[in-house]
Homo-oligomer: A and B are copies of this chain.
Amino acid sequence: MSDHSEVPVAPVAAFEPPYYVAVFTTVRSEHQSGYSETSARMEDLVKDVPGFLGMDHAQTPGGLGITVGYFRDADALTRWRTDAEHRAAQQRGRAEWYQSYTLHVAKVERSHSFVRAEDPPTVRLPAG
C-alpha cells in the first residue's frame, strides 16, 4: 500500500480459481500523518495471514490509489478483516487518511497472465 514502486516490478500472476480478490480503491485526504508507517506495517502483517496469496498496488500521484489483495478463500479474508491491528488501522483510515474509498470483495472465476517474450537478442555471427 506504500507509494514506492519496487524494481523489477511485475503484476501478481494468476492463481488457480477459485480464489478471492479484495479490491480497495481510495482517494486520500489532506491528513496523512502516520499513514506511511501504518501502510508499511499492514503490508508486513497481511503476509502472515494463512491463505494470503499476494497484493498489487498502483497509485496515480494526487489521484486514485488501487490495492488488490489476493486470498485463497473467504476464511483467509475474514482472518484479515478481523485482525485487531488491521481493525484499528481501518478505523484510523476513516477518521483521518481517506477522503473516500470503496471495497469490492469478489470470488475469481477465471484468470490468466501474460509475459512478453524477450526481444530476440542481437545475433553476432562468428567472424570469417
CB A24 to nearest CB in B, in angstroms, measures 9
What is the number of residues of chain A that contact chain B, defined by CB distance less than 8 Å?
49
Say whether chain A's binding surface is mostly helix, strand, loop, or mixed: strand
Q: Chain A, 55-74, contact with B by CB distance < 8 Å: what is the 0/1 string?
A: 01111111111101010000
CB A35 to nearest CB in B, in angstroms, measures 14
Residue A26 at the chain B interface, CB threshold 8 Å: yes
**Cβ B56 vs Cβ A27 within 8 A:** no
List of B residues within 8 angstroms of A115 by Cβ = 99-100
**Cβ A107 vs Cβ B105 within 8 A:** no
**Cβ B60 vs Cβ A64 within 8 A:** no
A9 to B61, CA, bound (A): 11
Q: List 9 A-B contacts (CB under 8 A).
A: A5-B62, A9-B60, A10-B27, A23-B23, A99-B115, A100-B115, A100-B116, A105-B109, A106-B107
